Amino acid sequence: MRSLTEIIESHIIDLLGRNEEDVVSLRRKELAEQFGCVPSQINYVLRSRFTPERGYLVESQRGGHGYIKILKICYDMPEEKVRHVEDLVGDSITEQGAKRLLLSLQSRNIIDARERLLIEVALRHIDDVGESTFDVSPYKRNVLQADLLKRMLRSLVFS
Amino acid sequence: MRSLTEIIESHIIDLLGRNEEDVVSLRRKELAEQFGCVPSQINYVLRSRFTPERGYLVESQRGGHGYIKILKICYDMPEEKVRHVEDLVGDSITEQGAKRLLLSLQSRNIIDARERLLIEVALRHIDDVGESTFDVSPYKRNVLQADLLKRMLRSLVFS
DNA sequence: AGTTTTTTGGTCAAAAATAGTCAATAAGAC
DNA sequence: GTCTTATTGACTATTTTTGACCAAAAAACT
């Protein structure tokens, strides 16, 4: 038996697919009624399934005319390519290695210059924080960077 | 169904767009009559939608020939834009605050959806690492997030 | 010039409508 | 059996809408 969470997840994905746009707008209460659950179940589904790491952005507003919007930032890339990229990153990566990889992704138009810059800045930040605030060893910092790099690339690539 | 506030907001944005200038002048009472609401609804729209955070300034005057003027701020120099954005982030920012800011920056075409996604992933990563690997207090995690966010946005403004 | 009246806009708080959080359980996976 | 994931519900937070009352500027009238 599929869990309620999975059922609601597929329902939302279905709505997204049916729509021309990569966005769907919901009322939390209505959806909860439709599936006979408490409203906070919807939050659980969103938190666990529609994360940025999986390529989704969620916007919501409380109060009168409140809503929940789910956006799919959708870019198609073959699964094998994703795996390839993750293999290239590995469990640990140096700053130089990361830069080389990002340049290569940019040259293949998988990311653009601004996206590369954003990723480099984030990697640099985690390295700085690791070094100066938490006194993490260089190797462990490279592990943190690899983890972040994979997450960021996966979010862009997930389809 | 869109809220009254949104309808009035779009009307004002429409007026601004139609006008050559980056400014539009209104009578509060007339506008309220036009939309069949109480005058203070207009103040609510201004307070919640035409904020400096969203790139607007509002001036008004009471009495005979009173008016409300709405100006769109434009920054020609990159440095001004950076200062503005860094002010918006501040020294500490919550996940919710960051999401709201990023959405507003996207609506102002300062970032696009993919960039927003990348930034959210990076913010979540630093928060996760702060919490589970380094056991940092929630407040300190918000400081780390603000720092990262400022760095990422700064890099984009100059590119 | 000074005072009063009229014409504007501002503030604040209440009520209604939504959504979010958190922690306790329950169920499922290994 | 322990660990992770899912479900629930009580409590909290935010947003919109409305209206009563306040404040300022101009106009009208001494």
The DSSP annotation for A113-157 comes to HHHHHHHHHHHHHHHHIIIIIT---HHHHHHHHHHHHHHHHHHHH
pLDDT range class, residue B121, cuts 50, 70, 90: very high
Residue percentage of chain A with pLDDT more than 90: 82
Q: Which of B114, B126, B156, B158 to mutate to test the interface with A (most CBs of A within 10 A)?
A: B114
* Residue B104 clears pLDDT 90, i.e. is over it: yes
Does residue B2 sit in helix, strand or coil?
coil
Q: In this predicted structure, what is the pLDDT of residue B131?
A: 86
Which protein residues have a C-beta closer than 7 A to any atom of strand D?
A 3-6, 37-38, 40-41, 44, 48, 61-66; B 3-6, 37-38, 40-41, 44, 48, 61-66
All residues at 6 or more sequence positions from A82 whose CB lies less than 8 Å from its CB, including other chains: A154, A157, A158
Q: Measured between alpha carbons, how far is B19 from A15 in angstroms, rounded to an integer?
A: 38
Taken in order A16, A11, A81, A154, is the CA torsion positive or negative?
A: positive
Residue A159, SS3 per DSSP: coil
Assess whether pLDDT exceeds 90 at residue A78. no
Q: Which helix (H) or strand (E) is B115 found in, with range?
A: helix B113-128
- Where is average pLDDT lowest: A72-86, B92-106, B116-130? A72-86
For chain A, give the percent of residues with pLDDT over 70.
97
CB-CB contact of B68 with B27 (8 Å):
yes
Q: What is the pLDDT of residue A131?
A: 94
Question: What is the predicted pLDDT for the residue at A7?
Answer: 97
Q: What's the pLDDT score for residue B83?
A: 92
B117 burial type by CB count under 10 A (0-12 exposed, 13-18 middle, 19+ buried): buried
Burial of A153 (C-beta count, 10 Å sphere; 0-12/13-18/19+): buried
Higher confidence at residue A17 or residue B135?
Answer: A17
Q: Give CA–CA dist A68/A58, Å, rounded.
A: 7
- Of the partner residues A73, A122, A151, the one whose CB lies closest to the CB of residue B114: A73
Lowest mean pLDDT among A42-51, A120-129, B12-21: B12-21
Task: Tell me phi and psi for residue A71, to 5 degrees.
Answer: -115, 140
CA distance A31 to A29: 5
Average of per-residue pLDDT across B130-138? 87
Q: How confident is the model at residue B122 (pLDDT cuts 50, 70, 90)?
A: very high
pLDDT at A59: 97
Interatomic separation, CA of residue A72 and C1' of nucleotide D8, rounded (Å): 29
The band of A76, judged by pLDDT with boundaries at 50, 70 and 90, is low
Residue range A4-72, CATH number: 3.30.56.130
| Residue A1 C-alpha, separation from nearest chain B C-alpha, in angstroms | 32
Spatial separation of the C-alpha atoms in residues B118 and A98, rounded to whole Å: 16
Longest dimension (CA), chain A: 52
Please, which pLDDT band fits residue B110 given cuts at 50, 70 and 90? very high
Q: Which of B95, B123, B125 to mutate to test the interface with A (most CBs of A within 10 A)?
A: B125
One-letter amino acid identity for A142? N
Q: Is the dihedral of CA B3, B68, B49, B157 positive or negative?
A: positive
Task: Look over chain B and give the mean of its residue pLDDT values, rounded to a whole number.
Answer: 94
Q: What is the dihedral angle through the alpha carbons of A114, A120, A121, A123, rounded to the nearest 10 degrees? A: 150
Least confident of A32-36, A37-41, A44-48, B92-96: B92-96
Going from N- to C-terminal start, the domains of chain A cover 4-72, 79-157
Number of H-type helices and E-type strands within chain B: 7, 3
Query: What residue is closest to C9 (Cα–C1')?
Result: B62
pLDDT level of residue A77 (50, 70, 90 thresholds):
low
How sure is the predictor about A84, in pLDDT bands with cuts at 50, 70 and 90? confident
CA distance B18 to A113: 34
pLDDT at residue number B123: 96
Q: Which residue has the higher pLDDT, B38 or A87?
A: B38
Mean pLDDT of chain A: 93
- Joined together, the tokens standing for residue A106 give 């940019």
* B33-89 pLDDT tens trace: 999 999 999 999 999 999 999 999 999 999 999 999 999 998 888 899 999 999 999
Residue A69 has pLDDT above 70, yes or no: yes
Q: What pLDDT, in 10s, does the model give residues B10-25?
A: 999 999 999 888 999 9
